[in-house]
């Protein structure tokens, strides 16, 4: 029997799923149920046992179950969906569209049946379109469906600014908006270190290099790893979003959320700044954009509309 009173369900127990199970365990947040395909369950049980063996060292009591039976996710407060395939070297996130749309359709129906009140965070790529498909097939309200984009992309943007300036990443504040793909929009105009604009710390050329590295950081990792895609930073970024919900933190984190009029975008999930608290996606924050930022966002929106046609 679990000593935990809350439950987090992970749909997909691959690289990101097991990294999440580890992070949830280390913080003693909740009981974890991992749902995956029947043939994947035994290896995941092995990883779960390995993680649970942390209990005596970390002084935590987390129970992790691996199953292919969706009824076990009943009462989960949070469902994190990473099910699907990741990209390989040479693939874009959009190359995963067709296969992962099929996965998300089946997952959405199961989650709607077994955990209809959960807050759902998706990382399956291309994430903006997967959120759209999940919401459509589950019928969930838009405040309870959110995709990992800005938390991860802004995190990488912060890291690269920290690496170039030599200051702590903790003191870097910045945001990445738009679709979670190579045309994402790292906002250099508002980026600061400890409140100091980065333009006073770095040359224009260096800032442009950082922007490009941020846009392609996922690809850089895929190419270096040779197998699979990034999983530690996605899992950490998801944890920030989940903790914001569980502990009503009112975090302002750019994420893939459904816009209905905000930023001139309609009926489309795209990365925009939003407030995450106990109410899920509590608010989309509309900030003034420059003409260039607006036009980049419009281009992102138009390409997402093309993807949506395939749902």
Residue list for the binding site for NAD(+): 12-17, 36, 100
Count of residues that interact with ligand APR, criterion CB under 6 A: 29
Q: How far is the CB of 23 from ligand APR (least distance, A)?
A: 13
Identify any residues that bridge with 11 across adjacent strands, giving them in sequence order. Answer: 35, 81
Closest CA to 272 of 176, 204, 168, 190: 176
Distance CA(300)–CA(271), nearest Å, equals 10
Polymer length in residues for the chain: 311
The SS3 assignment for 261 reads coil
Using CB under 6 A as the binding rule, the residues of this chain from 20 to 39 that contact ligand APR are 35-37
- Secondary structure letter of residue 149 according to DSSP: S
Closest CA to 98 of 258, 272, 273, 307: 307
Nearer to ligand APR, 156 or 193 (CB): 156
Residue 180 is among the residues annotated as catalytic for this protein = yes
Shortest CB 1 distance to ligand APR, Å: 26
- Binding status of residue 17 toward ligand APR by CB under 6 A: yes
Site string for ligand APR, 168-207 (x = CB under 6 A): ----------------------------------------
CA triplet 93, 237, 54: central angle to 5 degrees? 115
Could you give the C-alpha distances from 283 to 118, 152, 293, in angstroms and in order?
18, 20, 21
Report 97-116 residues binding ligand APR (CB under 6 A): 100, 103, 106-107
Residue 11 lies near ligand APR (rule: CB under 6 A): yes
Catalytic residue positions? 180
Residues making contact with ligand APR (CB under 6 A): 11-17, 35-37, 40, 82-87, 96, 100, 103, 106-107, 123-125, 228-229, 231, 234
């Amino acid at each position: 029997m679990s000593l935990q009173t809350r439950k987090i369900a992970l749909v997909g127990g691959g690289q990101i799923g097991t990294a999440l199970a580890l992070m949830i365990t280390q913080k003693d947040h909740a009981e974890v149920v991992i749902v995956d395909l029947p043939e994947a369950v035994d290896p995941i049980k092995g990883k779960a046992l390995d993680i649970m063996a942390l209990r005596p060292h970390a002084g935590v009591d987390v129970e992790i179950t691996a199953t292919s039976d969706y009824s076990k996710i009943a009462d989960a407060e949070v469902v994190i969906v990473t099910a699907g395939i990741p990209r390989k070297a040479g693939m874009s996130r959009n190359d995963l569209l067709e296969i992962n749309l099929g996965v998300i359709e089946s997952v959405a129906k199961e989650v709607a049946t077994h955990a209809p009140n959960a807050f759902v965070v998706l990382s399956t790529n291309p994430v903006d379109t997967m959120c759209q498909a999940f919401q459509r097939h589950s019928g969930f309200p838009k405040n309870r469906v959110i995709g990992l984009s800005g938390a991860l992309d802004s995190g990488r943007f912060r890291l690269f600014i920290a690496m170039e300036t030599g200051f702590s990443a903790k003191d870097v504040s910045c945001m990445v908006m738009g679709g979670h793909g190579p045309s994402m929009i790292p906002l250099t105009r508002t980026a600061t270190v400890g409140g100091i604009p980065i333009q006073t710390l770095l040359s224009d050329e260096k800032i442009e290099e950082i922007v490009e590295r941020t846009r392609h950081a996922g690809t850089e990792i895929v190419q270096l790893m040779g197998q699979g895609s990034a999983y530690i930073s996605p899992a950490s970024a998801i944890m920030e979003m989940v903790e914001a919900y569980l502990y009503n933190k009112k975090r302002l984190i750019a994420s893939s959320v459904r816009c209905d009029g905000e930023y001139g975008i309609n009926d489309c999930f795209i990365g925009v700044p939003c407030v995450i608290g106990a109410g899920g996606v509590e608010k989309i924050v509309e900030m003034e954009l420059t003409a260039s930022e607006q036009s980049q966002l419009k281009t992102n929106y138009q390409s997402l509309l093309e993807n949506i046609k395939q749902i």
